[in-house]
């Protein structure tokens, strides 16, 4: 199957399958998987023009609603966190889209940028195994044990391989939301963090996401978990929601840029067909990933993500110098 916009020729079953596998693995951490699909498009499908960035954002738009629905349904959405993330990333995405076209049209330079972003993500996740607040880590560990104990209880009661549902206390309850601080409660524990810190981070993340072609969840989620010590069970839904909204904005902006002389010369029109193929697999994958999250150990999710991200990061950085 030849996709004329991107020039990619691929079996139409491959993109959905790859997207399903990637998103199933990443959704438990609050990440759509777009940051891993972009390397696949560049290295395997040889899609290296600036159009790959908005095409990657289309994947987010199609894929994320499945997982997001699951998090909303189960009450695991930290809405104040979500709205601050959106408010910060939106302007950043617009700026990043312009930077991608103006300063990073060359595939080698863009791959270096991708590698540096992935290196940061991988090191940030890897550091979780050796540093951080011991008290907060112990608190999150106790939270994980509560989930495990509840799942074991439900398994015993229902005699099923996987038990469905969570107890009433396992929902996110907003306690306060102001320009200074956001505070919420989850499973008997209270978590708080500065609103300005999240907004500033989201602004920088939006810039990076607009260049890369991701909504920003891949950076927001690790920061919230490792720096702010928030449980991944509450961060994941907010990160996916922010990624979805900013991805819509990014695709719209890239499409408008394609109508300008600089956009036309740089070939930034997204490949809707390829993005939809990836999105179809991602839609099912994010739903499955969100469902199984409560049955996975947080450390396992982080470990798999860190190893894969670091491998890709080193590969792209090295290619720039050889």
Report CA dihedral (277, 43, 100, 36) to the nearest 10 degrees.
60
* Span 54-98, pLDDT tens digits: 898 898 888 888 778 877 887 778 888 888 988 888 888 888 888
- Mean pLDDT, the chain, integer: 80
* Span 154-211, pLDDT tens digits: 556 554 443 344 555 567 888 989 999 999 888 778 889 899 989 998 888 888 888 8
Residues 205, 89 contacting (CB under 8 angstroms): yes
pTM score: 0.73
Residues 311, 62 contacting (CB under 8 angstroms): no
- 162-169 contacts: CB < 8 A, separation 24 or more? 162/295, 166/74, 166/75, 166/294
191 strand-pairing partners: 184
Both tokens of 110, joined, read: 């863009």
Q: What is the pLDDT of residue 185?
A: 87
Q: What is the pLDDT of residue 181?
A: 93
Question: Could you give the CA distance from residue 42 to residue 114 in angstroms, rounded to a whole number?
Answer: 11
User: Which secondary structure element, helix H or strand E, spans residue 200, and what is its range?
Assistant: helix 195-212
Longest dimension (CA), the chain: 64
Residues 309, 121 contacting (CB under 8 angstroms): yes
Q: What is the pLDDT of residue 133?
A: 47
């Amino acid at each position: 199957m030849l996709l004329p916009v991107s020039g990619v020729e691929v079996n139409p079953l491959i993109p959905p399958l790859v997207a399903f596998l990637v998103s199933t693995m990443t959704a438990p951490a609050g990440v759509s998987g777009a940051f891993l699909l972009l390397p696949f498009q560049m290295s395997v499908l040889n899609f290296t023009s600036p159009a790959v960035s908005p095409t990657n954002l289309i994947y987010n738009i199609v894929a994320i609603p499945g997982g997001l629905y699951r998090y909303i349904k189960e009450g695991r959405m930290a809405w104040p966190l979500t709205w601050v993330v959106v408010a910060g990333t939106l302007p950043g995405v617009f700026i990043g889209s312009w930077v991608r076209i103006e300063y990073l049209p060359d595939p080698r330079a863009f791959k270096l940028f991708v590698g540096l972003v992935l290196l940061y993500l991988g090191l940030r996740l890897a550091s979780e195994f050796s540093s951080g607040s011991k008290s907060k880590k112990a608190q999150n560990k106790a939270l994980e044990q509560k989930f495990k104990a509840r799942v074991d209880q439900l398994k015993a009661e229902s005699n099923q391989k996987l038990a469905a549902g969570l107890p009433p206390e396992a929902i996110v309850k907003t306690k306060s939301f102001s320009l200074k601080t956001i505070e919420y409660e989850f499973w008997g524990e209270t978590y708080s963090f500065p609103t300005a810190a999240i907004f500033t981070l989201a602004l920088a993340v939006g810039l990076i996401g607009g260049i890369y072609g991701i909504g920003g969840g891949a950076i927001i989620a690790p920061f919230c978990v490792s720096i702010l010590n928030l449980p991944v069970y509450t961060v994941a839904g907010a990160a996916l929601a922010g990624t979805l909204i900013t991805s819509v904005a990014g695709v719209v902006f890239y499409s408008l840029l394609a109508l300008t002389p600089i956009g036309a010369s740089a070939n930034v029109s997204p490949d809707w067909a390829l993005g939809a193929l990836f999105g179809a697999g991602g839609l099912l994958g994010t739903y499955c990933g969100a469902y199984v999250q409560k049955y996975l150990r947080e450390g396992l999710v982080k470990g798999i993500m860190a190893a894969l991200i670091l491998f890709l990061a080193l590969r792209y950085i090295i290619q720039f110098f050889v």
